[in-house]
Structure formats: structure tokens, C-alpha cells
Amino acid sequence: MTTVAALDSALDSFPKLLVRNATKFGNRPAYREKEFGIWQSWTWAEAREEVEALALGFLDLGMKQGDHVAIAGRNRPYFYWAMLAAQYVGAVPVPVYQDAVAEEMAYVLDHCSAKYAVVEDQEQVDKILDVQDDLPNLKQVLYVDRRGMRKYDHTTLHAYDSVQEAGRVKRDEFQPELDRRYAAATPDDTCVMLYTSGTTGRPKGVVMSSYNMLKTAKNSAEFDKLSERDSILAYLPMAWVGDFIFSMAQACWTGFTVNCPESAETMQHDLREIGPTYFFAPPRFFEGLLTSVMIRMEDAGKIKRRMFHKYLEHAKRVGPDLLDGKPVSFGDKLKYQIGKYLVYGPLLNTLGLSKMRVGYTAGEAIGPEIFEFYRSLGINLKQLYGQTEACVYITQQPDGEVRADTVGVPSPDVEVRISDNGEVFYRSPGVFQSYYKNPESTADTKDSEGWVATGDAGFFEKDSGHLRIIDRAKDVGKMADGSMFAPKYVENKLKFFPNILEAVVFGAGRDECTAFINIDLTAVGNWAERNNIAYASYQELAGHPQVLDTIQKHLEEVNASVAQDEMLFGCQVHRFLVLHKELDADDGELTRTRKVRRKIIEEKFDVLLTGLYDGSDSVFVETEVTYEDGRKGSISATLAIRNAAVQARKILEAA
């Protein structure tokens, strides 16, 4: 069993931490939200009042210990309070993806048999009312935004603030009960249930105890010296474990400020206004940002552009060393300072990253040059490796030991071992309790000793002791000739090219590898504009011969680099095609966290797949697509199939 110290009993539940913060950091900002043109702010003391009012309101609605409370909305203080309030009364918050279509949401609400739901607005309410009949357990629904709700039947509907009001009014009546439940909380109580959008099959409900979350929060906070003076921007889906760790667990543990953007569209702008000191974003965010930076600079004047790139070059050269405290010549230091004044400083500032003290990226591999770009500007951007079942943290990079191709060393109190078939296992205080109503897959993932299988294949570097992830363990397959097949590894290399948004490589049990490619509309579209290549649609652009040429070049580069590695030699891509549509979560081709669903894609596009292997040079396909509003339509296209040059073995032997 793990030999990890228990938590201080005064701080072993979220409500207790809230109370601690309200007394210790009473006047420090706890939550901010950009609304009505300014940043509405709540101190920890005010936040406590709001939460308790809501908790009392919950009691008034008859919420029981252990009840499940579904939470569906974009990141807003009200929902964080709702989770805290639920924990206050001993209920279990279950955040769900608010952009999920009605059926998906229905599945989750039904599976956890939620009695209550706290949602954002009319849109969400309608979504729930649509599927109400399949949800016999659902008793009460709370909504935050009153707009358009006047005409609804309010027997089971309540406005968020009116529930709070009721709670305040009946304080005397319910306060004792609330105190009782507050005291009754133990570290082993479930503090949240998170549904993983598993890469395959139905989502699973991961049950987390207060101990899991808080111990992890404690360790990670100490690891990066987070304090109440830090602030973060909460913009990632609330249903994702990351947001819960950062915006709930770490926030409550350290007492730092959680800032909620006005809307998804204004995120960039709000990021700039807030300038968080602690920031997490998936690689695609940093990729997108870099692309937009370069595109915006295209329109700059000649001199300015030259200066910009000149200093970026310099930063690339000495920036990372400066960051890791390695020795740098005085001249370079000086030049870097000038660059900092002319370029890096203002650039980071306009992007809103200049105050960032610790930054993390994770979820998938990040392009080395992208990673280096940000670090060279002086941002302490690091990688971590984790998953929902571990409360995120498995391994992470300590300051000064940051590299693009590893995911760092095991986090505090985390044990990691590699099985003989190369799969990564871990055991930690963050390890989840179980999958809700799903003992068998719990058993599959977590053994009696508490070791959890990540399902990823990887290995520790001998010299540095850092973990390197190759691919999903089950995706690491064998090709017909028995050589190793690691699609993810190749796909990532491909995705490092700005022109390539997604790539899916096939080849398990076959003689050679082939690939589907998704172009990045922003990058390629911009390129097309500058070379005045006209195109009417995504489809047309994707099919444009010149685009295909570029993609082919990229593939051949990758083939070359893959060929370097004896083990992965077979993974060179021989034939490829560029998809006529973007892979999309709404069509089930990606997970909500935008991971590729290999199987589903394989089935959906088997026409194309056969085309890739029967040697034909073009193939016709018709696909069903789902629009934002849920309507379905279908698009058809004839896609060209190209061959990409591959390295021959003998060259390698000769070398």
C-alpha cells in the first residue's frame, strides 16, 4: 500500500478549505468573471457566503448526501460555487460537457442518475427538457441566466439566485443541518465524479475522493510553489479533470484567483487582460497562437519584420539556456535584453503571457520548435503526463529540466513502472476510487495493489531518468512483417508541420503504412491567399494539387526522420490522401478533448482505406456530417491518392 502521509484533518475537504480561505485570505480575490464590460470580482469571504447560501438552498430543495448534481455550463464562478455547495451538503458534483449533444448529455445524466442539474441558460434547459422522459431520477433543474425563461413552467425549474435567496431566507432553519454535514465530511467521501470521454465506447464515470484530489493538489502546488498570489484563467471544459484540479482543487488548496473569460470568443482578449501567472493549455492552443503570430507579422512593415525574425533567431539560440540558468556570453545576454525590450516583452504582453510564472502543456506531444519558441521568449513552459484516473499528475518536468521530447519525472508521491510489453503503470495518492457502476473495467484498469495501467507505451531515458511516451499501448501494433507499428509517433511528427492539423496513420497487420491527412485551414488558407490560389471551399483547398505537393514533401521529410530509428523503420508512410472534411467531435471522429478515434474513423472511411491499399490513384467518398445545430447533412468528394517516397533499407545499411 502507498506510504503517503494523510492530510491535515482541518483541510481534508473542499468546504473546509473554502472556510479556511475565507478566514485566512478573506479579502483576496477568489473568483473573477468578465461580464458587463468589467471583471466582476468576489473575495474568498464573499465566495463563501455565495456558496453557503446556495448550499442552504440545496437543502431547501431536499438534497441528500450522495445525491449526484450534474453541472453543465461554460467556466463561470456560479458553477464552481455549485460544486462547492454540493460538496458542502455531501452531494457529488458531476460536471458534464455543456457542448455535448442532447443524447450524450442524456447518457451521462442517466448513468449517474443525477437528481439535480445546474445549467447555464435556456439552451441547456431546453436540451434537458428534450430528454427529460428518459431521466426519471432528475428532480430539480437550476439555471443561471434568466433570459427567456419567464414563460417556462417553474415547478421543477429554479433560477440559481432565487435558490440562493431561499437559502438565505431559511438560514436559521437549515444552518444546523448544514453544519452537521460540513462536520460529517471525511477524506474518503467522493468529491467529484468526472466522465472520461474515452477514446473508445461510452464515457466512464471516474469516482474521486477528496483525498485523491486534495493530496494531488497539495503535491502539485508545492512542486511549482503555487501560492494565493497566483492567478489562472479557467477556460477549459469544466467536465475535464484538468479544470477540476486547477480551478477547484489547487485554487481551494492555495487560495489563488480563478478568472473566467466573458466567452470562448473573447478568451484571447481576456487572457491578455488578466495575464495569469499560472497557465495550462493543450499543445494545439500554443500551435494556434504561434501560427496566428506569424500570420499577423506577415502584414508588418519590412524593417519591423526583419527585426522581429532577427531577434527571434537570437532568442532561439540563447533563450532556453538563459531560462535553465546555463552560462551565456555577455554579448548574447545584452542582445537578448535588447530583444526583450523590442520584441519578446511586447510580444508576450500582447499575447497575455508576460506574467506567466509556470505554464504546462499536456494531452498530446507538442512540436519541438513550437515548444522551443515559447521557452526561448522566456516563458517557463513545461510538459506533464497524466490522465483522469490519476487526477492528472503522473510525471511532470521540474524547472530547468525541460525538453520537448520527454514528459519529465514522476510527480511527488507517484510511483511509475514499465511493464515488459512497454506499457506504463503508476500508483499514487491521486489514483481514482473506481469507475461508477462499472466494476469490471475498474478491475481491468486498476489491480489489487493499486497499480493503474495508462494504456500508453513508453520508456525511461537511461541518462536523464525522464519518461518518453511512444504511443497508446494498444495502438502500438505489429505490421505484417512483424516490425513495430507506432502510428501516434508518426502522426505527431506529421502534426508538427503547421499545415497539418490532424493525421491518422494505418498499417497494423499490413505490409506498409498509409495515412489520412487533415490540412490546417488557417495555415494553408493563408498560404493560398499569399500565392493567390483561389478556392471556394475547404474541400476544394484540400484537394488542390499544390497543397497535395506540400503535404507530400512533409510526409517524405517525416519518412526520412522515422527511418533513422531502426525500431520504427517500417512506419514510413507509403501512400496518403488529404481528407475532404475536418475530423470533428460532433461526428464522433474525435473525442471531446480532440483525440483521434482510430477505430471509428477506420470504419467510417473504409472506402478510402481500401483505396489506399488497392493501388488506385483516386477514390470517391460520401460522408455524413453534423452541423453545430445538430442537423445532419452529407458531403461527397473524389480524393486523389498520392505515393510518398520512402527510405530504402540498403541506404541505411550503407550509412
Partner 1 sequence: MLYREAGVFKTSYAKDQETFPIPFDKAGYFLALIVAFGVIPFLVNDYWANAILLPFLIYAIAAIGLNILTGYCGQVSLGSGGFMAVGAYATYKLMTAFPDLNMIIVILLAGLVTAFVGVLFGLPSLRIKGFYLAVATLAAQFFLVWLFNKIPWFYNYSASGQISAPERVVLGFEVTGANAQPAVIYLFCLCFTVALAWVARNLTRSNTGRKWMAIRDMDIAAEIIGVNPLMAKLSAFAVSSFYIGVAGALLFSVYLGAAEVGEAFGIQKSFLVLFMVIIGGLGSIFGSFAGAAFMVLFPVLLKNVMVGQLGWATDIAAHFEFIIVGALIIIFLIVEPHGLAALWRIAKEKLRLWPFPH
Partner 2 sequence: MNAVETFTTPDGRTIGGPVMEMRNITLRFGGVVAIKDISFDIREGEIRAIIGPNGAGKSSMLNVINGFYHPQEGEVFDHGKKRAPMRPYQIAHQGIARTFQNIALFKGMSTLDNIMTGRLTHMKSGILSHILWKGKAENEEVVNREKVERIIDFLEIQTIRKTPVGRLPYGLQKRVELGRALAAEPKLLLLDEPMAGMNVEEKEDMSRFILDVNDEFGTTIALIEHDMGVVMDIADRVVVMDYGKKIGDGTPDEVRSNQDVIDAYLGVAHD
* Positions in the binding site for partner 1 (CB under 8 A): 32, 37-41, 272-275, 293, 296-297, 299-301, 304, 308, 342-343, 345-355
Determine the longest span between alpha carbons in the chain, in angstroms: 85
Nearer to partner 2, 124 or 411 (CB): 124
Q: Is 36 in the site for partner 2 (CB under 8 A)?
A: yes
CA distance 51 to 389: 28
Q: Residue 142 CB, nearest distance to partner 1 (Å)?
A: 27
Cell numbers standing for residue 102: 442532447
Q: Is 162 in the site for partner 2 (CB under 8 A)?
A: no
- If phi > 0 it is left, if psi is from -120 to 50 it is alpha, else beta; for residue 615 that is left
Q: Residue 281 CB, nearest distance to partner 1 (Å)?
A: 16
Nearer to partner 1, 297 or 635 (CB): 297
- Which entry of partner 2, partner 1, none binds 121, CB below 5 to 8 A by partner kind? none
Nearer to partner 1, 314 or 493 (CB): 314
Residues 6+ apart with CB under 8 A from 518: 500, 501, 502, 503, 578, 579, 582, 583
Nearer to partner 2, 148 or 509 (CB): 148
- Which entry of partner 1, partner 2, none binds 296, CB below 5 to 8 A by partner kind? partner 1
- Which entry of partner 1, partner 2, none binds 272, CB below 5 to 8 A by partner kind? partner 1
Cell numbers standing for residue 279: 497557465
CA distance 521 to 292: 12
- Which entry of partner 2, partner 1, none binds 41, CB below 5 to 8 A by partner kind? partner 1
Cell numbers standing for residue 479: 505490421
Number of Cβ within a 10 Å radius of residue 626:
15
Residues 6+ apart with CB under 8 A from 126: none
Q: Is 627 in the site for partner 2 (CB under 8 A)?
A: no
Closest listed residue to residue 15, CA positions, set 62, 60, 56, 74: 56
In which residue are the cell numbers 520512402 written?
646
Q: Residue 268 CB, nearest distance to partner 2 (Å)?
A: 12
Q: Is 147 in the site for partner 2 (CB under 8 A)?
A: yes
Three-class DSSP category at 329: coil
Q: Is 330 in the site for partner 2 (CB under 8 A)?
A: no
For partner 2, which residue of 60, 262, 273, 540 counts as binding (CB under 8 A)? Answer: 262
Nearer to partner 2, 162 or 266 (CB): 266
Residue ranges in 106-145 that form contacts with partner 2 under rule CB under 8 A: none
Nearer to partner 2, 40 or 564 (CB): 40
Nearer to partner 1, 297 or 418 (CB): 297
Is the CB of residue 47 less than 8 Å from the CB of residue 19? Answer: no
Q: Is 631 in the site for partner 2 (CB under 8 A)?
A: no
Residues 6+ apart with CB under 8 A from 199: 472, 591, 595, 596, 597, 598
For partner 2, which residue of 186, 227, 266, 464 counts as binding (CB under 8 A)? Answer: 266
Nearer to partner 2, 150 or 462 (CB): 150
Q: Is 331 in the site for partner 2 (CB under 8 A)?
A: no
- Which entry of partner 2, partner 1, none binds 342, CB below 5 to 8 A by partner kind? partner 1
CA atoms within 13 A on the CB side of 471: 22
- Which entry of partner 2, partner 1, none binds 547, CB below 5 to 8 A by partner kind? none
The H or E element that residue 54 is part of is: helix 44-60
Is the CB of residue 608 less than 8 Å from the CB of residue 517? Answer: no
- Which entry of partner 1, partner 2, none binds 528, CB below 5 to 8 A by partner kind? none
For partner 2, which residue of 5, 37, 420, 631 counts as binding (CB under 8 A)? Answer: 37
For partner 2, which residue of 1, 3, 5, 150 counts as binding (CB under 8 A)? Answer: 150
Orientation angle between helical segments 77-88 and 14-24, nearest 10 degrees: 120
CA distance 74 to 557: 41
Binding region for partner 2 (CB under 8 A) out of 170-178, 192-200, 260-268, 353-361: 260-268
CA distances from 487 to 490, 506, 572 (A): 5, 7, 10
Which residues of the chain form contacts with partner 2 (CB under 8 A)? 35-37, 147-148, 150-151, 262-263, 265-266
